[in-house]
Amino acid sequence: MDISSDKLVNRKIAREYKKLLKVSYQTLSDDDKNLIRKALDLAIDAHKDQFRKSGEPYIFHPISVAKIVAEKIGLDANSIAAALLHDVVEDSRYDIIKVGSLFGQKIAKIVEGLTKISRLKKDKILSIQSENFRKMLLTLNDDVRVILIKIADRLHNMRTMESMSPEKQIKISSETLYIYAPIAHRIGLYEIKSELEDLSLKYTDNETYNSIKNSLEKSKDDQNLYIRNFARKISDKLKSESIFFKINGRSKSIFSIREKMIKKNIAIEEVYDRFAIRIIYNSNNNNEKLIAWKIYSIVTDVYRPNPTRLRDWISNPKTNGYEALHITVVGPNKRWIEVQIRSERMHEIAERGYAAHFKYKQGNKQESGLEQWLNKLKDVLENNDSNAVDFVEDFKLNLYSNEIFVFTPEGDLKSLPKGASALDFAFAVHTDLGLKTRGVKVNGKIVPLNFKLKSGDQVQVIKSINSKPSASWLDYVETSRAKSKIRSALNENKKMIAEDGKEILRRKLKHLKISFEEDIIHKLQNFLNLQSSLDLFYGIGVGSIDNSELKNFAKTEGSSFIKFFRRKPKKNLLTNREKRLKNNQLVFGNGSEKLDYKFTSCCNPLPGDNVFGFLTISDGIKVHKSSCKNALRLQSKFAYRILKAEWVDSSHYEFSSTIQIIGIDNLGLVNRITTIISENLNINMEKMSFDTEGDTFKGLITLKVKNKNIVDKLITRLKKIKGVDKVLRF
């Protein structure tokens, strides 16, 4: 670069620096300005020989990120300085120790968090991408500003992607939609969230993006005229009430219009609510709510409202802090239009998220809504048992869902995601209450645990010290908190059962004259094709490993002749192994996902074989042995359709099984049957029906059981009841 171009760059840097100070949402002191200037000088030195793909000097990227942090997110001087320094450690000779010595540990910690994120590899498959997301969120435990600056960094990258290859553009845009836009939404940065989504659509579906953009530009004049007509009818009434206000329009984002087109299967011309009208009024804290409802009254006096479309987020703000009244009315030209009523304070919060909260709370940065959200997030982060894909999907459920508000019996208000169940409510109140839930009453009536709640419901949890969570509970809940607590409890329960199973196995081996030693346990584990001793002890504890399998193992241990021919197992040994492995299932991919699959006839794989999944075009996943004659061709020619597959012991999962009972009708017979099922054998019943004809009866009972052995034991017990003639698996 020659001297003249150096001067031009320096002049541009000076202009951008002045803009940065001018657009800052926070009031900057002289010390703040000195700190920002010091960070800028170091960033200029660190990036002096670096250029972006567009050819622009790299220093303009951190300056642009800092401007977004200052203006759009509204953070403080420390955050602006950290934004200027966010790539320094990654791309230059400066290390984190040097940053700490020059700027203090607070800024150094933020920069270190941003450096860790930038070093994550992001060109992997979904499960790895999800793991990156998990690691990135873990930085929230240190300082939430890390994620806010990272969102600003991603926004500027999305704004300047023209020079990148199409493949890179699509990859970064997909990651933005999957990770960054949802976080921006959850934190309350609606403006940034919308821009991230629109820019992502620009690169993933450019044709649709341009079509919607052009349509919005053509209708802009009509939109402005409509807003003037709408405002004319209510402005005088608002002024007569001494309300200071402004009325403007807000176009829906291109991405949200496209989502509506897909959801309703309509063309752009058929999307009528392409914009909403905002009424932003001036008030103080004392009369803010009163004025909002006064404006609501005036608007609905002039325009007929849709009563089912009132959204009161002033009385009950969203958990990300959003406050407003939303109403839908029949406006000019008999057209439905959404009207958003906000105070200036509410509007700032909607635009800048938590930064506005901090301002209105005189700098109190422990704002409760943010802390509550972080605490919910930590519940999931602390659960190391869920894999990365589960984590992201659980988290996304909570990011995108609308909220409902339900009441405890005492009248306390609880916020839950839309779609949350009665069991979710129990865990939202307290983990121990959730784990000990026996039943739930909603509005005074007993309901199933998976009953979907709606706003206004009053919920009472019935607790029992004997209640324990089952694997089916994971299907009953929506919230990440409930899922993480249930998974942890199931693992603890498995360990407790395994402890009992260990003692049972010790006694059984003693009876078979086999010593209980580590070497023997390892051999038995391999004999039964189990992954760990925990699976072995658990299988004994729940009864999925029966005595015949232990006897067959004893035979192989006791006879050197059989040991010699172990590779050619007897027929009954193979049958027992197949019986043992019937409960095993395949999981696919690094995320260990359970998917539907079929076995192929070319190699006839059996449970326990080394296998892989092949994603066919028309017949789902087909499972082949790794030694199959077709394996090499499939893996070399269609590598992108190969799925890693592993067997897992699923004996701790519950399955539905229905039994039929036939006999002679006696007084109290049904009671004796249910007592044996639910109390003596501790089995959960899903459904039960009995029909009588004359003096005979026929009953069907659907149960939740862990394995076939438990069903067999139950059938044996039921057959002993006087009056029962037949008990069959149905």
CATH number, residue 660 = 3.30.70.260
User: Both 158 and 34 in a single domain?
Assistant: yes
* 277's tokens: 């009208």
Question: Residues 421, 439: contact at Cβ < 8 Å?
Answer: no
- Whole-number pLDDT of residue 265: 74
- Give per-residue pLDDT as tens, 673-725: 888 887 766 677 888 888 877 667 888 888 877 666 777 788 888 888 888 88
Give yes or no: residues 125 and 9 share one domain.
yes
Does 374 lie in the same domain as 288? no
Q: Which of 133, 163, 193 is the last residue of a domain?
A: 163
Q: Is the pLDDT confidence value at 40 over 60?
A: yes
Question: Which neighbouring-strand residues pair with 696?
Answer: 664, 693
pLDDT at 715: 87
Residue 281 dihedral angles phi and psi, to the nearest 5°: -120, 160
**521 domain-assigned:** no
Q: Which amino acid is at 105?
A: Q
Same domain, residue pair 128 and 22: yes
Residues 159 and 278 in one domain: no
Residues 49 and 133 in one domain: yes
Residue ranges in 456-613 assigned as alpha helix (H): 480-511, 518-527, 533-542, 547-558, 560-564, 571-581
Q: Look at residue 45 in the predicted model and tell me its pLDDT.
A: 92
Q: By the 8 A CB rule, do 401 and 418 touch?
A: yes
435: pLDDT strictly greater than 50: yes
Per-residue pLDDT tens for 498-552? Answer: 888 888 888 888 888 888 888 888 888 888 878 788 888 888 887 778 788 888 8
Region of residue 668 (phi > 0: left; psi between -120 and 50: alpha; otherwise: beta): left
Same domain, 354 and 396: no
**Residue 639 banded pLDDT, cuts 50, 70, 90:** low
Alpha-carbon separation of residue 213 from 72, 248, 256, 294 (angstroms): 23, 20, 12, 36
- Dihedral sign (CA 383, 385, 390, 392): positive
Q: What is the pLDDT of residues 124-177, one digit of tens each?
A: 444 445 555 555 555 555 567 788 899 999 999 999 999 888 888 888 887 788
pLDDT of residue 131: 54
659 contacts 635 by C-beta, under 8 angstroms: no
Last residue of a domain, one of 487, 503, 533: 487
Residues 620 and 640 in one domain: yes
Q: For residue 222, give both structure tokens.
A: 């009509």
Number of C-beta neighbours around residue 223 at 10 A: 15
Complete DSSP assignment for 459-501:
EEEEE-TT----GGGGGT--SHHHHHHHHHHHHHHHHHHHHHH
Q: Which CATH number belongs to the domain containing residue 100 in this structure?
A: 1.10.3210.10
pLDDT of residue 635: 65
| 51 vs 55: CA distance, rounded Å | 6
| Predicted local confidence at residue 277, as pLDDT | 94
Q: Look up residue 505 and give its two tokens.
A: 């196995």
Compute the distance between CA of residue 91 and CA of residue 52 in angstroms, rounded to an integer.
Answer: 12
- pTM check: above 0.95: no
Instruction: Tell whether 635 and 661 lie within a shared domain.
Output: no
Q: Which of 434, 468, 487 is the last residue of a domain?
A: 487
Measured in degrees and rounded to the nearest 5, phi and psi for residue 139 equal: -65, -15
Res. 649: pLDDT tops 90: no
Question: In Å, how far are 147, 165, 180, 445, 669 from 177, measured between CA atoms?
Answer: 16, 18, 6, 42, 59
As a whole-number percent, the residues of the chain with pLDDT over 70 amount to 80
| pLDDT at site 573 | 40
What mean pLDDT comes out for the span 25-42? 92
Note the pLDDT of residue 235.
93
Residue 535 inside a domain? The answer is: no
pLDDT category, 587, cuts 50, 70, 90? confident
Name the E strands within 208-289. Answer: 245-251, 275-281
Domain of 57 in residue numbering reads as 3-163
Provide CB contacts within 8 A for 663, sequence distance 6+.
669, 696, 697, 721, 723, 724, 725, 726
Burial class (CB in 10 A: 0-12, 13-18, 19+), 611: buried
Looking at residue 444, what is its pLDDT?
A: 85
Residue 300 contacts residue 329 (beta carbons within 8 Å): yes
CA distances from 271 to 200, 221, 265 (A): 21, 17, 10
In a domain, residue 112? The reply is yes
pLDDT band for 61, please (50, 70, 90 cuts): very high
- Count CB atoms within 10 A of the CB of residue 195: 21
Asked whether residue 457 falls in the same domain as residue 603, the answer is no
Question: What's the CATH code of the domain at 227?
Answer: 3.30.460.10
Q: Looking at residue 407, what is its pLDDT?
A: 82
CATH of the domain at 379: 3.10.20.30
37 and 153, same domain (yes or no): yes
Q: Is 617 a domain residue?
A: yes
Q: Provide the number of structural domains found in the chain.
A: 5
30 belongs to a structural domain: yes
Distance of CA 461 to CAs 12, 74, 376, Å? 64, 43, 21
Give the chain's mean pLDDT: 80
> Considering the domain boundaries, does residue 436 fall inside one?
yes
Structure-token pair, residue 717: 């017990």
Residues 232 and 316 in one domain: yes
In a domain, 495, yes or no: no
Decide if 219 is inside a domain. yes
| pLDDT of the residue at 566 | 42
